[in-house]
Structure 1
Amino acid sequence: MLRCVLCLMLALCGAFTAAADQQVRVPVESAEGQASFVDRAFDAALTQEIEAVLGTQLAQSRMETLMGILSKERDSLILGYSEVQAAGDAVNATEAYRTLTVRIHGPGLKTRLQGLGVMFTARDQWPYVLQLSGVEPSRTKRLGALQELSGLRPTVTQAPDVPVLALSQLGAWTGVLTLGEWRSTHTAKTLDEVWLAVWKDYFSRSGLNVRGESGLLVRVSGWLSSMGPMEFDRLMDSWSEEVQRKTLIGVEMDGSGMVGVWRVQTRSRDALARRLGDAAKTQGLTVEVR
């Protein structure tokens, strides 16, 4: 029932939600039910969108760990899908494929990638200090996968800008993550729960930027419809050299036109301004960067 509703939502949600479409061609497995097939297609689409957002490919093991988390959140990350006929999808003697266009909740996915640390550490690992207390070595095997997921590497070198994670276990797990005066504490039954909770707090801190980047406010005006900013947001997704991370924070009316406002993090303000200027000139738009 949910998937039927999602199909209908494709035509309704696009004008109100910043969505991303990914087309996936998925092999059909014999005796597989529709629900299982669609779930595999959703995961393939999420994988493609993650790589598009990050502008780089993650290691296979890291992507598998990430999808182990996001696949449980399909209902909130997938807005709908439709099946399309594509060349090569016809059934032959050995195999068959089906092609789906999957609509993904772009802002929701980016928020999850930020909370997991992936948005910040896709290209470079960040150091942190790990302190263990009362933890049996056999219970730390999961740490390797969690560190890879979040893009973190343990170091013995303490510094003002390096966070410290103290893990202890007395029945339940407790994690205390600190950076200067900032602190996050969480207690839960599993190491995964504790790890994801404290690092989500860390990566969600107000004003946190990817290292070496500055946050800029970009205002683009001149569209006649609300779809203009959404399409421009998708265009900016392809600017991997100029845009390291961005958030569409508002769409508003300005006189007779529509305005889109972004928070953008970039390593080069000049390069971003040039790219914005070229795109704005082509579309007859006005750009402000501050």
Structure 2
Amino acid sequence: MRKFRYTILLALAIACFVANSAIAGKVQVFMPKHEDLSPMALRNKAMAEGFASAVLEEANVMLPAPLKELRAEAFKEYMQKHAKPYIQGYKILSVQDIEEGIILDLEVKVNRRSLRTGLKGMGLFVTSVEPLSASVIWPEDWSETWGEEAMSKLHSLMILTGIQNTPEAYPAFKLEAGPENSFKGRLETDNQEWLSVNKDLAEVWFGLWKRYFSQEQAEQIRAGVRKLTISGWFSPDGVLEFDRVLQSWESAVQEVKLVELDMQPTGVGGAWEMRLISGERLDMLLRSYLPQRGLTYQLAEDAEE
């Protein structure tokens, strides 16, 4: 029996390319005319919405469950000003000026690696299926300090992050007035506390929650690593092809690594280590893909350290 561990350079190169490459998708945006916007400003606003829509589409592919309507709208609203780090390139396919406004067709390349990192920091991998119970506390004189627009933005951020405001629950996010009309946020857990001050409420919010979710997801990763072993191929090419397929199942597994190629007289097998996102989703995908190709698999509860 010949086994090659961690030396399958071609397979790993393919895996890295597939996992990190930018994905091009087409989006269409209608932007109604507004008397306060010049034609160029109107087009820029349409492009911002197009970028946000493209990022949302890719996020829904990556996450364990697509964002529901209200949350998707909050995501798009946020991304209209924050999508730039996730856009690797774009092409304007067409612009139609009509009486009511403009119709813009775009081809947008979204960088999956940077988006995955961003989604983790926003906590969406943790809360996309079930909300997180936490307490969110703000000053009683909120409207006098920041105005109703800021309150609306806070509620939108809570919806986007998947926070279910629960009095006296931990973690606890506390907001108060900072210097020079800024926002001062404090995030407390049972044993830690983080602070952030910024004039942009979203920067304070995500700056703090990113720290919390990075710890939460680190614990999930340690508990969620699995090893998938599959046998029954006739050649190594089949293993490499399935590696590409497995990398694309991001709603079920992530951080996929081909770690073993097993070549025997009776056939070829492969083994992968991965972080399990949805066991039910993975089982459905494996059952729909493997049996018809004469392949069998085994999923170990925990990968060996």
Fold shared per TM-score above 0.5: yes
Q: Is the 8 A contact 2:26 2:105 kept in 1?
A: yes
Q: Say yes or no: does 1:129 pair with 2:135.
A: yes
Give distance in 1, aligned partners of 2:298 and 2:241: 20
Q: Select the residue among 247, 252, 255 that pairs with 1:233.
A: 247
Alignment correspondent of 1:117: 123
Gaps of 5+ in 1: 1-12
Alignment correspondent of 2:171: 163
Give distance in 2, aligned partners of 1:250 and 1:233: 9
Matches for 1:10-159 after TM superposition, within 5 Å: 17-26=20-29, 36=44, 39-54=48-63, 55-60=65-70, 62-81=71-90, 100-132=106-138, 136-138=141-143, 139=146, 141=151, 142-158=153-169
Give distance in 1, aligned partners of 2:155 and 2:108: 32
Q: Return closer, same or farther for 1:71/1:287 CA change in 2, 3 Å cut-off.
A: farther
Q: Return closer, same or farther for 1:120/1:29 CA change in 2, 3 Å cut-off.
A: same
More displaced 10-residue stretch of structure 1: 44-53 or 279-288: 279-288
Give 1 or 2: higher helix fraction: 2
Alignment correspondent of 2:257: 250
Q: Return closer, same or farther for 1:174/1:32 CA change in 2, 3 Å cut-off.
A: closer
Structure 2 counterpart SS, 1:145: helix
Q: Is the 8 A contact 2:224 2:276 kept in 1?
A: yes
Alignment correspondent of 2:5: none
Residue-by-residue CA offset, 1:242-278 (whole Å, 9 max, x unaligned): x3xx32243567478986542112365xx74464254
Q: Is the 8 A contact 2:92 2:106 kept in 1?
A: yes
Give distance in 2, aligned partners of 1:179 and 1:190: 23
Give distance in 2, aligned partners of 1:49 and 1:104: 7
Give distance in 2, aligned partners of 1:81 and 1:42: 9
Give distance in 2, aligned partners of 1:25 and 1:167: 38
Task: In structure 2, give the amino acid aligned to 1:120.
Answer: V
Give distance in 2, aligned partners of 1:267 and 1:232: 14
Q: After TM superposition, give the deviation of residue 20 of structure 1 in Å.
A: 3.7
Structure 2 counterpart SS, 1:70: helix
Structure 2 counterpart SS, 1:148: helix
Task: In structure 2, give the amino acid aligned to 1:145.
Answer: S
Matches for 1:145-224 after TM superposition, within 5 Å: 145-158=156-169, 162-171=170-179, 172-205=182-215, 206-209=217-220, 215-219=224-228, 224=237
Q: After TM superposition, give the deviation of residue 201 of structure 1 in Å.
A: 1.0
Give distance in 1, aligned partners of 2:132 and 2:255: 26
Q: Is the 8 A contact 2:254 2:277 kept in 1?
A: no
Give the alignment's TM-score, normalised by structure 2: 0.63
Alignment correspondent of 1:10: none
Structure 2 counterpart SS, 1:207: helix
Taking every aligned residue pair, what percent have the same amino acid on both sides?
A: 19
**RMSD between aligned residues:** 4.3
Q: Which has the higher contact order (CA 8 A, sep 6+)?
A: 2
Q: After TM superposition, give the deviation of residue 25 of structure 1 in Å.
A: 4.0
Give the alignment's TM-score, normalised by structure 1: 0.66
Q: Say yes or no: does 1:263 pair with 2:271.
A: no
Aligned length: 257
Q: After TM superposition, give the deviation of residue 128 of structure 1 in Å.
A: 0.9
Give distance in 2, aligned partners of 1:24 and 1:106: 17
